[in-house]
A and B are shown apart, each in its own frame.
Chain A
């Protein structure tokens, strides 16, 4: 039986715990797009943002030394570049991603978080349908 949903639920609880720690201890919204963006454009180069990114990168990196892990992202570099530009530009313009608007925003019933999340999920479903079922691209 497929138990991916159970890992999803457990992993989700862990992700929510990370957001709870960042909120209650540091007083901040957990948002990797804001962490990366702030470090990039210089709007927030605090040691906090840097520390968050280091922790996020380090754990899967160390884990991959012990358990086999690989990416399934495909090997079309043009797709990765266009996708990366869209994700970086879009999340920064909207001031949040699946974490900041999604996990942190919806859980406090933030109207902006809910509208942003409905928009990126809706756009994602439309684009996925077009790419995979209309044009057979991915």
Chain B
């Protein structure tokens, strides 16, 4: 039970951080992408803030052999820049601009986002299924 418990804890902390940072507000995210409009730099501060604990965690992981609950840490993926990475990221960026939702804030909005959150997450789940046969 430890694995799902700590996974849920990480998800809960993530949800708290998304709310606190304002990233559940799609206008703020769209404002960051709107460089020729009223540019909103908040997302850059969120990313910058998130780098600090993560960079420390990667250093700690490098000194340890295994995670606390066992198992190896994820290996660095080889630097392969294929069509899936570039095309997929470009498609993601387009949908991100259109709606202001990326997957984390979209899931976080399920509980308060009314039918909009539900419609977006349902479509996102469908999109994930469409990509399944193209993944390696």
Chain A contacts to B: CB under 8 angstroms? 4-33, 36-37, 40-41, 43, 46-64, 69-75, 77, 79-95, 97-99, 101-104, 106-108, 110-112, 115-117, 119-129, 131-133, 138
Task: State whether A18 touches B89 (Cβ < 8 A).
Answer: no
Cβ of A84: which chain B residues have Cβ within 8 Å of it? 95, 99, 101, 106, 119-124, 126-127
A interface SS class = helix
For chain B, residues 12 to 49, give those with C-beta under 8 angstroms from any C-beta of chain A: 12-28, 30, 33-37, 40-49
Cβ of A31: which chain B residues have Cβ within 8 Å of it? 103
Nearest residue, chain A, Cβ from B72: A27
Task: State whether B11 touches A89 (Cβ < 8 A).
Answer: no
Given A36-B128, A112-B77, A51 and B3 touching (CB < 8 A)? yes
Task: State whether A61 touches B33 (Cβ < 8 A).
Answer: no
Chain B contacts to A: CB under 8 angstroms? 3-28, 30, 33-37, 40-58, 60-61, 64, 66-74, 76-77, 79-81, 84-104, 106-114, 116-117, 119-132, 134-135
B interface SS class = helix
Nearest residue, chain B, Cβ from A81: B123
B63 to chain A, nearest CB (A): 11
Partner among B20, B90, B113 whose Cβ is within 8 Å of the Cβ of A7: B20
Cβ of B6: which chain A residues have Cβ within 8 Å of it? 21-22, 25-26, 51
Would you give 11 A-B contacts (Cβ < 8 Å), ordered by A?
A21-B9, A32-B107, A55-B7, A60-B15, A82-B95, A83-B101, A90-B131, A94-B86, A94-B87, A98-B104, A112-B79
Cβ of A55: which chain B residues have Cβ within 8 Å of it? 7-15
Cβ of B87: which chain A residues have Cβ within 8 Å of it? 90, 93-94
Task: Give complex CA distance A19, B114 in Å.
Answer: 27
Task: State whether B126 touches A58 (Cβ < 8 A).
Answer: no
Task: State whether A25 touches B109 (Cβ < 8 A).
Answer: no
Task: Give complex CA distance A131, B99 in Å.
Answer: 11
Partner among A37, A48, A77, A117 whose Cβ is within 8 Å of the Cβ of B7: A48
Task: Give complex CA distance A24, B28 in Å.
Answer: 31
Task: State whether B111 touches A60 (Cβ < 8 A).
Answer: yes
Given A12-B17, A88-B125, A131 and B98 touching (CB < 8 A)? yes
